[in-house]
């Protein structure tokens, strides 16, 4: 039977690539979208991950459509870059709310049904920046580093229930999020000498969601062309 998968922020960028990859592998895939239209051929539920009520309603709809979520990919995320000296408190807390507390909200909603199923996969999309830091991104880096401690705590709490919790840490991926950045300057520091395509992140998520990753939990898998050198 097809597994029930939910990908947050699955209407574009890395999230959409993950959703398409898992759908192609035979899973029943739902995506959350916050704005615009849901992508063709995928079950879309409107949801802003900063709202507990919207997260709750989205899971209710996904469960009714395709059963309890067995694979959760927490991918939705934002940047609001500025140096600390200029950073307003809400610029910090908005990014934490979407990227870190958002992951908490969806994981919290997913965990009890996974416990009942006695199996589950939670995959959180972090960033190389969470481990290396980045000038102008202290809010974003803090949110992404926070995901690592969060994931590893869940891995310890729910390992005995056959639920794995892992993190992928992409480097520099060609999406709307990076479209405005100085490509040349960044690529210079990447051993593989290029940006990633979203599908290259998606394939690692497919691996972590699949049977071949049955003994991996609490891991941080870099998908960064060597940018972070395994950190």
Could you give the residue numbers annotated as active site?
Answer: 140
Does 225 interact with ligand NDP (rule: CB under 6 A)? no
Shortest distance in whole angstroms from residue 106 CB to ligand NDP: 10
* Token pair listed for 30: 């739902």
Strand partners, 222: 169
Q: 4 or 127, CB closer to ligand NDP?
A: 127
Shortest distance in whole angstroms from residue 183 CB to ligand NDP: 11
Shortest distance in whole angstroms from residue 19 CB to ligand NDP: 10
Distance from C-alpha of 143 to C-alpha of 127, rounded to nearest angstrom: 10
In the stretch 23-42, what mask flags binding to ligand NDP with x, by CB under 6 A? ---------xxxx-------
Residue 5 near residue 73, CB atoms below 8 Å: yes
Query: Cα torsion at 95, 169, 192, 200 (round to 10°)?
Result: -100
**Chain-centre distance of CA 175, in angstroms?**
14
* Token pair listed for 114: 């996974």
**Reduced to 3 DSSP states, what percent helix, strand and coil does the chain have, rounded to the nearest 5?**
50, 15, 35
Q: Which of 12, 61, 80, 152 binds ligand NDP (CB under 6 A)?
A: 12
Q: 7 or 155, CB closer to ligand NDP?
A: 7
Does 123 interact with ligand NDP (rule: CB under 6 A)? no
Shortest distance in whole angstroms from residue 130 CB to ligand NDP: 8
Binding segment (CB under 6 A) for ligand NDP, from list 19-27, 115-123, 168-176, 182-190: 168-176
For 55-170, strand residue ranges (E) read: 71-74, 120-125, 163-170
Does 178 interact with ligand NDP (rule: CB under 6 A)? yes
Distance from C-alpha of 207 to C-alpha of 185, rounded to nearest angstrom: 31
* Token pair listed for 60: 């209710």
**Residues 41-70, interacting with ligand NDP (CB under 6 A):** 47-50
Q: Which of 2, 78, 96, 197 binds ligand NDP (CB under 6 A)?
A: 78
SS3 category, 29? strand
Query: Cα torsion at 219, 110, 160, 201 (round to 10°)?
Result: -20
Binding segment (CB under 6 A) for ligand NDP, from list 56-64, 71-79, 109-117, 202-210: 71-79
Does 139 interact with ligand NDP (rule: CB under 6 A)? no
SS3 category, 208? helix
Shortest distance in whole angstroms from residue 128 CB to ligand NDP: 6
In the complex, the residues that contact ligand NDP under the rule CB under 6 A are 8-9, 11-15, 32-35, 47-50, 75-78, 98, 102, 125, 127, 170, 172-173, 175-178
């Amino acid at each position: 039977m097809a597994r029930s998968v939910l990908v947050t922020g699955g209407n574009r960028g890395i999230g959409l690539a993950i959703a398409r990859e898992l759908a192609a592998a035979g899973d029943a895939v739902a995506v959350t979208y916050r704005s615009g239209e849901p992508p063709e051929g995928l079950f879309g539920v409107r949801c802003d991950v900063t709202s507990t009520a919207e997260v709750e309603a989205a899971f209710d709809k996904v469960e009714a459509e395709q059963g309890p979520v067995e694979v959760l990919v927490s991918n939705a995320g934002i940047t609001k870059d500025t140096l600390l000296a200029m950073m307003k408190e809400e610029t910090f807390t908005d990014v934490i709310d979407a990227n870190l507390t958002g992951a908490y909200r969806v994981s919290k909603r997913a965990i009890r049904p996974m416990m009942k199923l006695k199996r589950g996969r939670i995959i959180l999309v972090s960033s190389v920046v969470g481990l290396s830091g980045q000038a102008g991104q202290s809010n974003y880096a803090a949110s992404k580093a926070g995901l690592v401690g969060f994931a590893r705590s869940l891995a310890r709490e729910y390992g005995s229930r056959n639920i794995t919790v892992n993190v992928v840490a992409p480097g520099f991926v060609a999406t709307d999020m990076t479209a405005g950045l100085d490509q040349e300057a960044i690529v210079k520091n990447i051993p593989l000498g290029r940006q990633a395509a979203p599908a290259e992140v998606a394939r690692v998520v497919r691996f972590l969601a699949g049977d071949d990753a049955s003994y991996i939990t609490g891991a941080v898998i870099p998908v960064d062309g060597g940018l972070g050198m395994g950190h």
